[in-house]
Amino acid sequence: VNDEELKKRIAEELALERARRDSEAQKRRLFGKLLEQERISSNEHLTRAILRERAATEEERQKAQRFAKQLEEKDRELKKHDAYYKEQLARLEERSAQFYKVTTEQYQKAADEVSARFK
């Protein structure tokens, strides 16, 4: 084997090694870019998910506030109705007592009259 062929083979092997290293470096850069794109995509997805969750939470909070106000209004309305019906019940009880008193007096008066007539 002569010197020229040896030099040529060494040069070819060095060129192949350089090409292999360049290819490896290019693959690493490409893989790095892909990883970076995936990281960015994941962050964007996570950010969107967080924003959706915050919006849903805010909506639920507002809903809860609306329901609390409605509940307070219903409670006030029920208390108003309760007071009204208690007042009506008191009036009816008073009327009933008056009717009972009048009826008892009339009964007693009639009983006295009957007793006086048939003595």
Average pLDDT over residues 28-56: 96
Does the pLDDT at position 2 exceed 90? no
Does the pLDDT at position 1 exceed 80? no
Which runs of consecutive H residues, i.e. helices, occur in the chain?
3-117
Length of the chain: 119
Classified as helix, coil or strand, 59 is: helix
* Both structure tokens of 5: 């062929």
The phi-psi region of residue 57 (left if phi > 0; otherwise alpha if psi is between -120 and 50; otherwise beta) is alpha
b or e along 17-45 (b: 16 or more beta carbons within 10 Å of the residue's beta carbon)?
eeeeeeeeeeeeeeeeeeeeeeeeeeeee
The structure's pTM equals 0.51
Average pLDDT over residues 93-113: 96
Average pLDDT over residues 96-106: 96
Q: DSSP secondary-structure letter at 118?
A: T
